[in-house]
């Protein structure tokens, strides 16, 4: 209580010395000069805000072609892991695609809160087998990720992919909204778009889509899987779905594509849900030509010709692959 | 007495239960165990504090003539209170702990004499009994208004829907420069720190809740009040404290005052939490005492002690609440009037807000309001941030009850976490199979529905702007899809004929999950939106005569 001002007797203020006066002027003066300097500097800095320049980042993960080996393989009548083993063997073995100390990103479809039986996401055993093979080839990191549509935690869990990939020692990354980078897609309709960073930092990228029905394109296969590397409001892409698919395909060029046709969702895609819409095909289609793979699967399961799939024509015209898959060397294996 | 003092044990207990409360609140979220691939369930007894809460149990029983799953556990608190008194308030309640902690900080405004004066019994402490009466009478008339003031509802609403999200946002903002640093070391340590905090309490993604700011503000004001007036909330408002106070009327544990040694030094009053006058010169207010035992510790003459059958009489203690007949009548009358008054408002019956979309499993509206204690557990647990506390959507009576906002988040087809979190059965516990949105077999006719989707054809791209889209159809989770497409010839701005696929809703298949509205590219006002007509809980709110 005794330090309250009204209780204290105010002593007469002593006169200040010249030295004190100078010091005080110096203090006030330096604050004033500092404020003026800071103000001028800040006003010089003022500029109309412009968006941050996006990094140019075409991602070409392709490997050199080899005339001795098939560009495409179709493996039938096996379990997912066996299908993957055979497919990789047919294409020249995993070591052809992965070098020692590569950072490998696997992009299965983990878009929906569905179980493997509902066939809306890539088969977990297929993903696990590819992870295992990547380790065998000496990869430094094997990352499994996707930018889900439904709640990611549920998608990763219920698809079984999180558990299967982790069991093989892969890093399973859930999409983190803070981990996207705005990049130049350089397409006709896709100019700049945020891309999930792991896809921009990989040495090799494997595309592991699942073949499903889709109302706009007839079916959704390998190229449509690249929607899942994008952030932001990708729901606008459907307005020009063919052009945007071709744009994405020329931005993200995978090392290898393996289209999961073990269970094929033939109606009510791409979400499905009803196992009566799912047909057991026990097939894997893999290869280095993403255009040919999509064209083959569309023809094989939905009887769609390339003429009905404009995005394949566009991608082919851009030199991303061959629509005419019959002209490729295809190796067919039957495990039955 | 050898060993630790009782007040030290009390502090330990308070700390433990505060941490337990926070841990359970953090677990009230989708935090799946790695490896569990099938159905996803809540981990941990997240409803524990509500199940312990005799106020929730009593009002649930009054309103529904039954006790919902788990509420029987409240006997664990209720029966000991009959014998011991309000030990719950002093030893367990996390809201009490927070107030006691803050209230015992040294304060410029409240010290010495002022604090003693402020800690003496005040007549305004009877307000809480009136609050309790009003609430119980309202519960008897099937309205759970008590939820606005139940201490755990208040805590979950405040901490879960406001303080935690704010902390989440602040921590992320602080981590961001570290994580995006150019130095690899800093970035790595930022990532590790993020992982640790994520494991401890950070949300998977930043949640946002309607009215969040006000929940935080109310909570902080309450805590600030406890800086001025010791345990202001507990003494003045808390209906649970009031109930326990009433129950402790005949308790056998009580304060024994050795009047011969008391010299009225006021030290007991200085530390008293409940405003119950342990001092020798006043009568002890048994129903106000929270058994914090500060007075026993503080007495320099050792003249205070808690004993079984202390042999107190009317001259030394007041056993029951100091509630006069008039106040009791006022409380009863207010409770009787409250429900009809609220229901005379338009919100309920005649003009229900079309955007009041209740979570799946919610009971029919009158049954829902008879149970929902506005605790916000369902809102907190929703992994899509889809549920929000209603402001006016459910009428005044439904303030802070949950409503689904599809634009922010849709109802995840196989998720039933809100129904697992609900402590009172307002959202009755259901399984994913009962929800029936992803049966895995043919679509079910008896699946739950929470509303129906409609198109705004003036805004929909294929309908109004000759542009292809169908994202809504792509997202529709039921099978066969409730959104079907029809090819139409349209003319674009240049006069060219074009074929687009125009979406339509089949109301017999739509479950109202809101995925279409969520995914619609028209972000500001979606071209497809859900209203609550057709929700399976309301027989009176259907649009189809027959569902095929």
CA distances for A252 relative to A249, B126, B189, B208, B328, angstroms: 5, 71, 31, 34, 74
Spell B205-216 as b/e; 16+ CB within 10 A means b.
bebebbbbebbb
Nearest-CA distance B225 → chain A (Å): 24
How many whole angstroms separate alpha carbon B503 and alpha carbon A325? 34
Is A238 in Cβ contact with B412 (below 8 Å)?
Answer: no
Does residue A33 carry a pLDDT above 80?
Answer: yes
For residue B35, what pLDDT is reported?
52
Task: Give domain limits for chain B.
Answer: 365-434, 443-531
For residue B542, what pLDDT is reported?
87
What values do phi and psi take at B200, rounded to 5?
A: -75, -55
Contacts of B195 (CB under 8 A, 6+ apart): none
B15-46 confidence digits (pLDDT tens)? 999 999 999 999 898 876 655 556 788 877 88
Counted residue by residue, chain B has a size of 548
How many whole angstroms separate alpha carbon B347 and alpha carbon B350? 7
How many whole angstroms separate alpha carbon B375 and alpha carbon A320? 56
The answer to whether B350 and B405 have CB atoms below 8 angstroms apart is: no
| A79 φ/ψ sector (left φ>0, alpha ψ -120 to 50, else beta) | beta
Facing B441 at nearest CB: one of A115, A235, A275: A275
| Helix/strand/coil for B357 | coil
Q: A-chain residues within 8 Å CB-CB of B437?
A: 273
How many whole angstroms separate alpha carbon B94 and alpha carbon B234? 11
The answer to whether A286 and A221 have CB atoms below 8 angstroms apart is: no
User: Taking CB atoms and an 8 Å cut-off, how many pairs form between chains A and B?
Assistant: 117
Query: DSSP class of residue B146?
Result: G
For residue A181, what pLDDT is reported?
87
Cis peptide before B414 (omega within 30 of 0): no
| Helix/strand/coil for B462 | helix
On the 0-12 / 13-18 / 19+ scale of CB atoms within 10 A, B4 is: exposed
A58 vs B522: which has the higher pLDDT:
B522
Does residue B5 carry a pLDDT above 60?
Answer: yes
Facing B441 at nearest CB: one of A174, A270, A274: A274
Residues 136-165 of A with CB under 8 A from B: 149-154, 157-158, 160, 162-163
Facing B470 at nearest CB: one of A160, A216, A277: A216
The mean per-residue pLDDT over the stretch B191-212 comes to: 89
| Helix/strand/coil for B477 | coil
How many whole angstroms separate alpha carbon A39 and alpha carbon A268? 62
DSSP 3-state percent helix, strand, coil across chain B (nearest 5): 45, 10, 45
How many whole angstroms separate alpha carbon B382 and alpha carbon B377? 9
Tokens 């979570």 locate to B359
Q: What are residue B500's DSSP bridge partners?
A: B488
Nearest-CA distance A177 → chain B (Å): 8
How many whole angstroms separate alpha carbon B383 and alpha carbon B29? 7
Facing A153 at nearest CB: one of B204, B443, B469: B204
Tokens 């074009």 locate to B498
- Would you call B179 an interface residue with chain A, using a CB distance cutoff of 8 Å? yes
- Would you call B114 an interface residue with chain A, using a CB distance cutoff of 8 Å? no
For residue B439, what pLDDT is reported?
59
The mean per-residue pLDDT over the stretch B279-296 comes to: 92
The mean per-residue pLDDT over the stretch A126-132 comes to: 96
For residue B38, what pLDDT is reported?
64
- Would you call B485 an interface residue with chain A, using a CB distance cutoff of 8 Å? yes
Residues 62-81 of A with CB under 8 A from B: none
Do B365-434 and B443-531 fold alike per CATH?
Answer: yes
Summary mean pLDDT of chain B: 90
The mean-pLDDT minimum among A22-36, B181-195, B265-279 falls in B181-195
For residue B444, what pLDDT is reported?
57
Does residue A97 carry a pLDDT above 50?
Answer: yes
Is B479 in Cβ contact with A277 (below 8 Å)?
Answer: yes
Helix axes A290-302, A310-317, angle to 10 degrees: 160
- The two tokens of residue A179 are 């981990």
Q: Where are the alpha helices (DSSP H) in B180-211?
A: 184-200
For residue B150, what pLDDT is reported?
95
What would the 3-class secondary structure string for chain A be?
Answer: CCCCHHHCCCCCCCCCCHHHHHHHHHHHHHHHHHHHHHHHHHHHHCCCCCCCCCEECCEECCCCCCCCCCCEEEEECCCHHHHHHHHHHHCCCHHHCCCCCCEEEEEECCCCCCCHHHCCCCCHHHHHHHHHHHHHCCCCEEEEECCCCCCHHHHHHHCCHHHHHHHCCCEEECCCCCCEEEEECCCCCCCEEEEEHHHHCCCEEEEECEEEEECCCEEECCHHHHHHHECCCHHHHHHHHHHHHHHHHHHEECCEEEEEEEEEECCCCCCCCCHHHEEEEEEEEEECCHHHHHHHHHHHHHCCCHHHCHHHHHHHHCCCCCCCHHHCCEEEEECC
Is B30 in Cβ contact with A151 (below 8 Å)?
Answer: yes
Facing A162 at nearest CB: one of B34, B467, B477: B34
The mean per-residue pLDDT over the stretch B356-361 comes to: 95
Q: A-chain residues within 8 Å CB-CB of B480?
A: 267-268, 274
The mean per-residue pLDDT over the stretch A288-306 comes to: 92
Does residue A55 carry a pLDDT above 50?
Answer: yes
Is B470 in Cβ contact with A238 (below 8 Å)?
Answer: yes
**Top CATH class, B443-531:** alpha beta
Q: What are residue A195's DSSP bridge partners?
A: A181, A230
Query: DSSP class of residue B304?
Result: E
Percent of the residues in chain B that have a pLDDT greater than 90, as a whole number: 66
On the 0-12 / 13-18 / 19+ scale of CB atoms within 10 A, B293 is: buried
For residue B10, what pLDDT is reported?
95
- The two tokens of residue B37 are 């691939």
B381-404 confidence digits (pLDDT tens)? 999 999 999 998 888 899 999 999
The answer to whether A286 and A258 have CB atoms below 8 angstroms apart is: yes
The mean per-residue pLDDT over the stretch B111-137 comes to: 91
- The two tokens of residue B98 are 């927070």
Contacts of B501 (CB under 8 A, 6+ apart): A215, A216, B462, B468, B470, B473, B485, B486, B487, B488
Integer Rg of chain A from CA: 29
For residue B204, what pLDDT is reported?
85
Does residue B441 carry a pLDDT above 70?
Answer: no
Q: A-chain residues within 8 Å CB-CB of B521?
A: 233, 235-236, 238-239
The mean per-residue pLDDT over the stretch B177-201 comes to: 87
Percent of the residues in chain B that have a pLDDT greater than 70, as a whole number: 95
What would the 3-class secondary structure string for B508-539 be?
Answer: CCCCCCCHHHHHCCCCCCCCEEEECCCCCCCC
- Would you call A174 an interface residue with chain B, using a CB distance cutoff of 8 Å? yes
Strand A278-287 with A256-265, pairing: antiparallel
Contacts of A120 (CB under 8 A, 6+ apart): A109, A111, A112, A114, A210, A212, A265, A269, A270, A271, A272, A273
How many whole angstroms separate alpha carbon B462 and alpha carbon B88? 61
- The two tokens of residue B26 are 């953090």
Is B412 in Cβ contact with A154 (below 8 Å)?
Answer: yes
Does residue A281 carry a pLDDT above 90?
Answer: yes
Is B480 in Cβ contact with A236 (below 8 Å)?
Answer: no
B109 vs B436: which has the higher pLDDT:
B436
**Closest to A169 in 3D by CA, of A112, A223, A129:** A129
Tokens 């005569």 locate to B545
Does residue A2 carry a pLDDT above 60?
Answer: no
- Would you call A173 an interface residue with chain B, using a CB distance cutoff of 8 Å? no
- The two tokens of residue A112 are 């929906």
- The two tokens of residue B258 are 């050795």
Nearest-CA distance B88 → chain A (Å): 38
Nearest-CA distance B522 → chain A (Å): 9
For residue A1, what pLDDT is reported?
44
Does residue A283 carry a pLDDT above 50?
Answer: yes
Model ipTM value: 0.84
Nearest CA in chain B to A155: B37
Nearest-CA distance A27 → chain B (Å): 34
The answer to whether B289 and B258 have CB atoms below 8 angstroms apart is: no
Is A276 in Cβ contact with B441 (below 8 Å)?
Answer: yes
Is A149 in Cβ contact with B468 (below 8 Å)?
Answer: no
| Cα maximum dimension of chain B | 104
| Helix/strand/coil for B281 | coil
Does residue A225 carry a pLDDT above 80?
Answer: yes
For residue B132, what pLDDT is reported?
95
Percent of the residues in chain A that have a pLDDT greater than 70, as a whole number: 96
Is A272 in Cβ contact with B479 (below 8 Å)?
Answer: yes
Name the CATH code of domain B365-434 (choices 3.30.70, 1.10.287, 1.25.40, 3.40.50).
Answer: 3.30.70
A148-170 confidence digits (pLDDT tens)? 999 999 999 989 999 999 999 99
The mean-pLDDT minimum among A93-97, A229-233, B271-275 falls in A229-233
**Closest to B516 in 3D by CA, of B452, B458, B465:** B452
Nearest CA in chain A to B175: A178
Sorting pLDDT into bands at 50, 70 and 90, what band is B446?
A: confident
Sorting pLDDT into bands at 50, 70 and 90, what band is B442?
A: very low
The answer to whether A80 and A210 have CB atoms below 8 angstroms apart is: no
Sorting pLDDT into bands at 50, 70 and 90, what band is A273?
A: confident
Residues 366-385 of B with CB under 8 A from A: 383-384
Counted residue by residue, chain A has a size of 336
Does residue B408 carry a pLDDT above 90?
Answer: yes
pTM of the model: 0.89
| Helix/strand/coil for B203 | coil
Does residue A286 carry a pLDDT above 90?
Answer: yes
The mean-pLDDT minimum among A222-226, B376-380, B430-434 falls in B430-434
The mean-pLDDT minimum among B91-95, B335-339, B385-389, B405-409 falls in B335-339
For residue B230, what pLDDT is reported?
92
**Closest to A111 in 3D by CA, of B448, B204, B500, B515:** B515
Q: A-chain residues within 8 Å CB-CB of B407?
A: none
Nearest CA in chain B to A214: B474
How many whole angstroms separate alpha carbon B422 and alpha carbon B299? 45
């Amino acid at each position: 209580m005794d330090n309250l001002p009204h209780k204290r007797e105010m002593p007469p203020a002593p006169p200040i010395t010249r030295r004190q006066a100078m010091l005080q002027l110096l203090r006030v003066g330096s604050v004033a000069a500092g404020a003026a300097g800071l103000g001028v500097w800040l006003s010089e800095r003022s500029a109309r805000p412009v968006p941050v320049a996006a990094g140019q980042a075409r991602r070409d993960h392709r490997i050199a072609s080899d005339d001795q080996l098939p560009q495409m393989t179709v493996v039938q009548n096996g379990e997912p892991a066996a299908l993957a083993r055979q497919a990789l063997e047919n294409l020249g073995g995993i070591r052809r695609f992965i070098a020692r100390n590569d950072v490998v990103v696997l992009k299965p479809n983990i878009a929906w809160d569905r179980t493997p039986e509902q066939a809306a996401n890539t088969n977990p055993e297929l993903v696990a087998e590819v992870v295992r093979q990547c380790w065998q080839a000496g990869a430094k990191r094997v990352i499994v990720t996707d930018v889900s549509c439904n709640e990611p935690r549920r998608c990763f869990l219920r698809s079984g992919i999180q558990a299967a990939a982790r069991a093989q020692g892969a890093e399973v990354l859930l999409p983190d909204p803070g981990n996207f980078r705005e990049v130049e897609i350089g397409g006709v309709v896709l100019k700049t778009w945020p891309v999930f960073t792991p896809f921009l930092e990989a040495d090799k990228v494997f595309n592991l889509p699942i073949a499903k029905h889709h109302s706009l394109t007839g079916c959704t296969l390998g190229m449509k899987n690249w929607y899942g590397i994008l952030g932001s409001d990708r729901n606008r892409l459907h307005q020009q779905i063919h052009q945007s698919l071709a744009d994405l395909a020329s931005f993200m060029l995978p090392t290898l594509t393996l289209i999961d046709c073990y269970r094929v969702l033939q109606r009510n895609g791409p979400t499905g849900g009803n196992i009566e819409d799912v047909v057991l095909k026990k097939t894997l289609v893999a290869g280095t030509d993403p255009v040919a793979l999509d064209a083959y699967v569309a023809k094989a399961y939905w009887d769609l010709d390339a003429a009905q799939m404009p995005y394949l024509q566009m991608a082919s015209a851009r030199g991303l692959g061959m629509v005419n898959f019959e002209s490729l060397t295809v190796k067919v294996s039957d495990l039955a | 007495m050898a060993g630790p003092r009782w007040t030290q044990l009390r502090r330990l207990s308070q700390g433990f239960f505060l941490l337990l409360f926070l841990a359970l609140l953090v677990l009230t979220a989708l935090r799946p165990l790695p490896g569990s691939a099938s159905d996803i369930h809540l981990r941990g007894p997240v409803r524990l504090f509500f199940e312990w809460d005799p106020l929730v149990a009593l009002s649930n029983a009054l309103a529904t003539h039954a006790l919902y799953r788990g509420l029987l556990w409240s006997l664990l608190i209720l029966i000991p209170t009959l014998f011991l008194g309000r030990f719950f308030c002093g030893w367990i309640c996390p809201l009490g702990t927070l107030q006691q902690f803050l209230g015992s900080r040294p304060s410029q405004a409240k010290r010495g004499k002022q604090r003693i004066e402020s800690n003496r019994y005040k007549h305004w402490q009877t307000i809480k009994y009136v609050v309790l009466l009003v609430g119980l009478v309202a519960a008897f008339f099937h309205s759970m208004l008590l939820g606005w003031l139940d201490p755990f509802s208040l805590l979950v609403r405040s901490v879960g829907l406001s303080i935690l999200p704010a902390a989440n946002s602040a921590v992320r903002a602080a981590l961001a420069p570290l994580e995006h640093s150019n130095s690899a070391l800093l970035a790595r340590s930022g990532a590790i720190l993020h992982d640790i905090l994520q494991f401890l309490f950070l949300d998977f993604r930043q949640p946002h809740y309607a009215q969040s700011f006000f929940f935080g503000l109310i909570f902080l004001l309450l805590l600030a009040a406890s800086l001025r007036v010791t345990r202001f909330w507990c003494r003045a408002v808390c209906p649970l404290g009031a109930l326990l106070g009433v129950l402790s009327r005949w308790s056998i544990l009580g304060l024994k005052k050795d009047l011969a040694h008391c010299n009225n030094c006021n030290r007991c009053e200085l530390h008293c939490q409940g405003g119950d006058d342990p001092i020798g010169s006043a009568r002890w207010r048994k129903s106000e005492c929270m058994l914090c035992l500060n007075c026993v510790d503080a007495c320099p003459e050792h003249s205070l002690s808690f004993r079984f059958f202390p042999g107190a009489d009317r001259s030394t203690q007041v056993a029951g609440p100091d509630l006069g007949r008039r106040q009791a009548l006022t409380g009863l009358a207010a409770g009787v009037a409250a429900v009809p008054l609220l229901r005379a408002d338009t919100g309920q019956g005649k003009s229900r807000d079309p955007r009041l979309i209740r979570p799946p499993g919610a009971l029919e509206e009158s049954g829902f309001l008879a149970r929902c204690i506005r605790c916000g557990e369902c809102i907190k647990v929703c992994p899509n941030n889809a549920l929000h506390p209603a402001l006016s959507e459910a009428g005044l009576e439904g303030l802070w009850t949950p409503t689904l906002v599809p634009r922010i988040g849709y109802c995840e087809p196989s998720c039933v976490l809100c129904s697992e979190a609900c402590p009172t059965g307002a959202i009755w516990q259901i399984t994913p199979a009962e929800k029936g949105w992803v049966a895995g077999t043919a679509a079910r006719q008896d699946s739950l529905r929470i509303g129906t989707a409609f198109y705004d054809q003036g805004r929909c791209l294929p309908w109004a702007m000759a542009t292809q889209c169908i994202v809504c159809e792509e997202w529709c989770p039921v099978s066969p899809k409730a959104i079907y497409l029809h090819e139409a010839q349209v003319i674009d701005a240049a006069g060219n004929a074009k074929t687009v696929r125009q979406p339509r809703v089949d109301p017999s298949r739509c479950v109202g999950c809101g995925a279409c509205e969520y995914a619609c590219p028209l972000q500001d006002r979606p071209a497809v939106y859900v209203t609550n007509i057709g929700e399976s809980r309301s027989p009176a709110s259907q649009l189809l005569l027959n569902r095929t």
